[in-house]
Each structure stands twice: as structure tokens, then as C-alpha cells.
Structure 1
Amino acid sequence: MGRALLLSLASCLLVVSRATLIHRCDLAKVLHTEELDGFEGYSLSDWLCLAFVESNFNISKVNENADGSSDYGIFQLNSHYWCNDYQSHSENLCQVDCQDVLDPNLLSAIHCAKKIVSGSGGMRNWVEWRLHCAGRPLSHWMTGCRLG
């Protein structure tokens, strides 16, 4: 009984250790540097809310979907439309490998997210943003963050 519990705990720790988490204010600084504050009318708070509801600030998150596609990175970019994972059909509209979207420097993920937001629907392309961020007060996402 004790051995099974120990193995279970060990496997949980392995999963947790694979997560590459970024602190909210560190993400705000990167997004600010990449000129996302006000990009297509969206504030840094919108971007932070998006990253939280999609990945809980987990840069390395990969989520497999029922349709065979996967969602990648901090913004959960879908392999069917936005990036190529070489496992499912992809339109690869961002012209990027899905593995590149998982890079801790976030540049590939940000470049692709900017492309999505620039298109029709803006951030409304993300269901979780529509459900949890759109039309809500979001200024608290920047609380305590210094950009300078």
C-alpha cells in the first residue's frame, strides 16, 4: 500500500517538474517589451488574463484535444490552425513549429498570438478569454507589477 502511494506521489512530482511557469509580473514585462500593451486595443491585463485562463502561466503546457490536434504553450496555440506539430494536419497559419511555441523566451508564442489577435475576432478567438476575461474588470492583473 505504501509503495503504491509513493509511486503515485513520485509520478505527480515528475509531471509538476515539467511545467515551466512564469511569474505574472515577469510575463507582463516580456509582453510590455514586445509592445503588446494596447496592441489591437488589448491591454497587458487582457494578455495576462488570457495566459492565465489558457495555461495558468505554464509556458510548456501541451493539451491534447479529442480531434487529434494539440494546444501549445502559454496561449495554447492549436496545432490544427496555428503551428505545425507534424502529428496532425495543420494549416500552420503562424508558420512556426509547435515546439518553438514552448520556448521560454516566448517570442514565437507572442508572434503567433499577435497574428491571431490581428485577424478577425481578436482575442475572441480564445473561448476561455471570452468566458473569463471579456467585458470584466482586469486591472488587478497588473497589481504590484513594475514595468520600468
Structure 2
Amino acid sequence: MRFLSSDPPGSQRLAGTLFLSMMMKVLLICMASCLLVVNGGDLINRCALAKILHEEDLDGFEGYSLADWLCLAFVESNFNTSKVNENVDGSFDYGIFQINSHYWCNDYLSHSENFCHMDCEDMLGPNLLPSIHCAKKIVSGSGGMRNWVEWRLHCSERPLSYWMTGCHLG
């Protein structure tokens, strides 16, 4: 800021104080925005998820290991239990396994077959049982985990044991 010699005494200090005050407000807004982004979803720890999946008897279910399930959850939602994604056909994918509203759950936004007989909203948040029960139904049908494109691309026929590294299920 440039001040003229005709500016009243102390105006330079006042302008500097106002500038700092404005910068502090901008900084606080930026920090608050970052917190909102970080808190934007419900993330679950990989090993905590492994334990829940183990308790729900998914290890070996339809021939898939816990590592398959962990890889699926990572590639679909990055372990975000509240993720919702809109697809080009107008349907939505919900939850940690990104289960599609057109076939598997009812989101009341478009026609749904609702093969899992549940609201899509039930698959969001920390209670993973609705997502697990629906995913088991999907995997039990034709195609198994191949129904998830991301699993086919990133998990199928790959070594996956590292997904369980450090996880103690006992």
C-alpha cells in the first residue's frame, strides 16, 4: 500500500491492521473449509473394516477372501461409508461398496428394481450391515464380484494379501 504524505498520522498503521484482520478472516475461512472437506465422509480404517467383514463371515464367501472385499471397498469408495456417486444414466452408487440404485436399492429418484429390498440411504454411514447384506446378495448372483467394474480392473487376478497386512482379527 502506498501512502501519501498528506495522509493523516497513523493511517498507515490502521490500514496495516485492517489488512491483517482481513487476512486472518480469509485464513480462518480456508481452514474451516479444509475441515469440512476432511469431515465430508465417514472413513473407516482398513483393519477395522476387515474385522467387521470377518465377523459377518465374508472371508471365503462365494470364494472371495477378505482381501478381495477390502480391495473392493478401497477402489469403489476409498473406505468412505458415506460416498454417493451419480452415474451418467441418472442412477446413483451408494456407500462403501458403491451399490447402484437402478438395480439394488431404492433412492426414490428414479425407477429401481430394488433387489436388496432397502432404501439406498440405509447404506450410508457407520452401520455397514445393510451394505454388507446387499453386497452378499450381489456376489451370490451371476458374476460375483465381477459385477463391480473397479474390482475387475484393480483387484481381480492380482495378489491381494497385502490388504490384510497388520490386521489382527482375533
- The alpha carbon displacement at 1:105 in A equals 2.0
Q: Which residue number in structure 2 is paired with residue 47 of structure 1?
A: 69
Percent identical pairs in the alignment equals 78
Aligned-partner residue type, residue 100 of structure 1 = D
Q: Deviations over 1:66-101 (max 9, x none)?
A: 211111000000111111111111111100101101
Structure 1 segments, 4+ long, off by >6 Å, are 3-6
What TM-score does the superposition give when structure 1 sets the normalisation length?
Answer: 0.93
- 2:39 alignment partner, SS class: helix
Pick aligned residue for 2:53 from 15, 31, 48: 31
1:56 — aligned with what? 78
Structure having the higher Rg: 2
SS in 2 for 1:21: coil
- Mapped partners of 2:34, 2:86: distance in 1: 19
Determine if contact 2:42/2:125 at 8 Å carries over to the other structure.
Answer: no
Give, in angstroms, the shift of residue 103 of structure 1: 3.5
- The residue that corresponds to 1:119 in the other structure is 141
Indicate yes or no: 2:154 matched with 1:132: yes
One-letter code of the match for 2:119? D
Q: Gaps spanning 5+ residues in structure 2: where? A: 1-21
Counterparts of 2:86 and 2:145, CA distance in 1: 21
Runs of at least 5 residues in structure 1 that lack an aligned partner in the other structure = none
Q: Give the Å deviation of 1:4.
A: 6.9
Q: Which residue of structure 2 lines up, in the alignment, with residue 21 of structure 1?
A: 43
CA RMSD of aligned residues (A): 1.6
TM-score w.r.t. the length of structure 2 is 0.81
